[in-house]
Amino acid sequence: EAQVTQNPRYLITVTGKKLTVTCSQNMNHEYMSWYRQDPGLGLRQIYYSMNVEVTDKGDVPEGYKVSRKEKRNFPLILESPSPNQTSLYFCASSAQGAGSKNIQYFGAGTRLSVL
């Protein structure tokens, strides 16, 4: 089954404690991205990656890091989480190239609370 898998689904942590949210896709998609979703602000892109070893900032990259060492994986790293990073996070992937139409496939989400 084609899917994007995020882990963990729920996470409660404290300010300053480094954490990683993993994301994996099994569709051989080139493009992967991370979004955060907050009430009244909608989905905002944090980082994206067009392919292995190629990453770039989205609209709200401050406080986050990503890496793309393998095509299927795109982890989101919070080196020193702060309460304003409490949010619902989504990983997404899409195929690239002619005819792909940039349709995004989303993971189930990770609800993060930073105390």
Partner 1 sequence: SQKIEQNSEALNIQEGKTATLTCNYTNYSPAYLQWYRQDPGRGPVFLLLIRENEKEKRKERLKVTFDTTLKQSLFHITASQPADSATYLCALDPDAGNMLTFGGGTRLMVKP
Among 13, 45, 67, 113, binds partner 1 (CB under 8 A): 45
* E strands, the chain, in order: 4-7, 10-13, 19-25, 31-38, 42-51, 54-57, 65-66, 76-78, 87-94, 105-106, 110-114
Minimum CB separation from partner 1 for residue 112, in Å? 14
Residues 6+ apart with CB under 8 A from 111: 9, 10, 11, 88, 89
Look up residue 4 and give its two tokens. 């994007």
Asked if 27 touches partner 1 (CB under 8 A), the answer is no
Total chain residues near partner 1 (CB under 8 A): 26
Minimum CB separation from partner 1 for residue 114, in Å? 19
Minimum CB separation from partner 1 for residue 109, in Å? 5
Q: In this chain, which stretch among 13-21, 61-69, 77-85, 105-113 interacts with partner 1, using CB under 8 A?
A: 105-113
